[in-house]
Amino acid sequence: MRRKLPAHKAVALAAALCAATLPLASEAATDSDALMAQVKALADRVERLEAQNAQLRTALESDRISENEPELATRLKAVEAQQDALKGPASKLADALGGIRVEGSLTGMVQQTGRSSLADPGSSGSRANYRGDVAATLPGGDFGANKGKVFLHARFGQGDGLALRPTYTGTANTTAFAGNDTDDTQFTVAQAWYQLEVPLDQKASDKAVFTVGKIDPFAFFDQNAIADDETRRFANNVFVHNPLLDSGGDTGADHFGFAPGAIAAYENSSEKTMPWGTSLGVFGSGDGANFRGSSGKPFVIAQAWVSPRINHLPGTYRVYAWSNARGTDFDGSQARHAGMGLSMDQRVTDELTLFGRYGHQTSGHVLFNGAFTIGGELDGSAWRRGSDGLGLAFGMLRTSGRYASASAADPANYGFAARGSERIGELYYRMHLNDHVEITPSLQYISRPAANPDAKGIALVGLRARVGF
């Protein structure tokens, strides 16, 4: 049985408990006041920070720097201004250079032949030469949807190659580039023209192209995928361009093959598997080609082309006709010359591309009035040298009836009675050493040179090196 506390002891215990709890309540009240003070101070600080942030945002919305702005905003704007100042010239330079494309090459060639093949048998049977080309394409401004460009081409070199006995071919080394001063490097601004491309539909698959300036006519007419670059492929002139136009001289261009002129062209690529186009060119001829005479009586040429994909392989077929009111007859007199030609190239396998050219003189008293060339290039994929190229070509230049009759009637004046055709062959192997350097040994043979039935053939050995960028 639990005993009860006396009444006076219970009262004393309650009083003691009350006395003990009084200090705890006092301490709790003190801590609560301190916490409230800290919360209030934190709230005031957050409010001040928000005000400062709002002021900073307002200051950064303006590019103007003010002394009344926060110091941080002033510093940020100063740094941004410095960055813009540094980026400005670099950005302008990048924009200016963005549309510029520069390319060039340096080609050297040496050829050797027997002394009996030379015009002067007493001279050396070997000749070396070099040639450099630098071309730049620059933006020419836009006119709405029309786009313009400027093309500049400089050429320099030294050495005119071997001087052979009379032949119909213009030269066995088309890379030769020399002027009147054989002791110094020849330099010329070969091309300088402006071109405007005018789209005729929204997709630009139908367009007109206009070009005016000093131009290489063969850059726009009589082109060929594998027979138009003497620095990389065939070196004999009859395999570089249509022989009637170049070796025969019917373009009437200046000493280096260039002339002032204008070209209007139409291109249609709406059918991707068979794009086609037409073009018309008018160029200065004779003294008009080198700016020493009138531009009247020009060289005029018109061309139509189509590029079908046969068995999914590319090719291009071109037909053209020309007229030159300042053509030069074989007796040196000036008369109108005219003719027509074909130029075609077709890839027949992934490794083999074939080409062919044909030319027929329709008016003018010329040395040869018919030309036919054919050949091809095989890449080195079969022997694991895919960037190499093996080229072979044959050509025939047919003596004109008038020249055959004139030379037969007066062999003492002409040296011999020409008849039949001059025949030319060329073989080369292009070795690709790297993305910039190529070495090309070659062989050429000219049979019945100048259609002289009694003349011995001319054999030439050549070695060409090219550095491109």
pLDDT tens for 367-424 read 999 999 999 999 999 999 999 999 999 999 999 999 999 999 999 999 999 999 999 9
Q: What is the pLDDT of residues 143-163, one digit of tens each?
A: 889 999 999 999 999 999 999
Q: What is the pLDDT of residues 417-469, one digit of tens each?
A: 999 999 999 999 999 999 999 999 999 999 999 999 999 999 999 999 999 99
- Asked whether residue 323 carries a pLDDT value surpassing 60, the answer given is yes
pLDDT value for 38: 80
> For the residues 326-351, what does the mean pLDDT come to?
97
Q: What is the pLDDT of residues 279-296, one digit of tens each?
A: 999 999 999 999 988 888
At 184, the pLDDT band (50, 70, 90 cuts) reads confident
pLDDT value for 1: 47
**CB-based burial, 413-434: b 16+ in 10 Å, e otherwise:** ebebbbbebbbbbbebbbebee
Average pLDDT, the chain: 90
Cα distance between residue 174 and residue 185, in whole Å: 17
Rounded alpha-carbon distances, angstroms, from residue 11 to 5, 18, 256, 402: 10, 11, 133, 156
For the domain covering 100-468, report its CATH number.
Answer: 2.40.160.180
pLDDT value for 370: 98
Q: Do residues 244 and 371 make contact, with C-beta atoms less than 8 angstroms apart?
A: yes
Give the percent of the chain with pLDDT over 90: 73
Cα distance between residue 69 and residue 85, in whole Å: 22
pLDDT value for 64: 65
Per-domain residue ranges for the chain? Answer: 28-98, 100-468
336: left (phi over 0), alpha (psi -120 to 50) or beta: beta
At what angle are helices 7-60 and 71-98 packed, to 10 degrees? Answer: 40
Cβ contacts of 437 within 8 Å, gap of 6 or more: 465, 466, 467
Half-sphere exposure of 285 toward its Cβ, with a 13 Å CA cutoff?
A: 25
pLDDT value for 261: 98
Cα distance between residue 209 and residue 146, in whole Å: 10
Give the percent of the chain with pLDDT over 70: 86
At 51, the pLDDT band (50, 70, 90 cuts) reads confident
Per DSSP, helices labelled H in 285-444 are 401-409, 411-414
- Asked whether residue 275 carries a pLDDT value surpassing 60, the answer given is yes
Helices then strands, counting H and E runs in the chain, come out as 4, 17
pLDDT value for 59: 67
**CB-based burial, 86-106: b 16+ in 10 Å, e otherwise:** eeeeeeeeeeeeeeeeeeebb
Q: How long, in residues, is the chain?
A: 469
Looking at 138-152, 169-183, 234-248, 269-283, which range is the least confident one?
Answer: 169-183
Where do we find the tokens 């945002």?
57
Higher-confidence residue of 58 and 271: namely 271
At 39, the pLDDT band (50, 70, 90 cuts) reads confident
Looking at 58-72, 220-234, 369-383, which range is the least confident one?
Answer: 58-72
